Structure 1
Amino acid sequence: MATTKKQVKMSASGSHANGSHAKGTSRRWSAKVNTESTYPEEGLFRQDAATIARRLASKKVSPKGPASGMRMLVFFENRAGKSLSPTRRKVLEHAKELLHEKVVAARKKRAA
């Protein structure tokens, strides 16, 4: 089956069969994210793991609780992608572990 310019097969990932992307689209979905939610302060993700976890769990940064901070951290890590150094990735993974403990504690507190 021959394809015309208007008929281009798309793969499950949303790219064309030949690996290219549709004209005018960005390769990274995260580049299009525009939100009015709270933002962590500048340079927070360059801090140590304990500081990152503590600040992301704070009501100032995450008014909806530490789970919201976890989403910010995961989004940052996904957005950084391959440009994140192994050392920095390890620090962020540790921050996720610490923040996860805070999420679990908040859920237990809410359930009690």
Structure 2
Amino acid sequence: MRTARSRSRAGTRRYWSADVMKRSNALDLEPGVFQRKSPRKIAESLKRSSEQSTRRKGTPYQSAMSMLTFYINRAGKTLSPARKRILERAKPELRKIFGHA
């Protein structure tokens, strides 16, 4: 049985993941970081953001990899195969530039 509250929200789709990307305590990301064409550029941007952030809980590497994985998982259904491939290729790049390869 639907309540009045669920009916009022039925017309509007709200995703908790959108709030995480906007208000997360993890990282302050550079604008458009996940839209870049180069996996290396994505990894470098995530590295910069994670090293400059004072709001992260883990190491810079953990924060950067978590944010990349989070984005891939949450946007997965709407990502084109080409975009997903670029983002997946950013993972080894991130490992490399952090010296975890």
**Normalised by the shorter chain, which TM-score bucket?**
0.5 to 0.7
Number of aligned residue pairs: give it: 85
Aligned to 1:41: 30
User: Larger relative contact order (C-alpha < 8 A, sep ≥ 6)?
Assistant: 2
Identity %: 38
Which runs of 5 or more structure 1 residues have no equivalent in the other structure? 6-22, 107-112
Q: 1:88 aligns with which of 77, 83, 94?
A: 83
Equivalent residues in 2 for 1:1-112, closer than 5 Å? 23=6, 28-33=15-20, 34-47=23-36, 48-58=38-48, 61-63=49-51, 64-103=59-98, 105=99
Q: Amino acid of the residue matched to residue 99 of structure 1?
A: L
Flag the structure with higher helix content: 2
**Contact preservation (8 Å) 2:50, 2:60:** yes
State how far apart, in whole Å, the 2-side matches of 1:53 and 1:31 are.
Answer: 21
- What is the identity, as a one-letter code, of the residue corresponding to 1:56? L
Q: CA RMSD in A?
A: 2.8
CA distances 1:18-37 after superposition (whole Å, capped 9, x unpaired)? xxxxx369785424533244
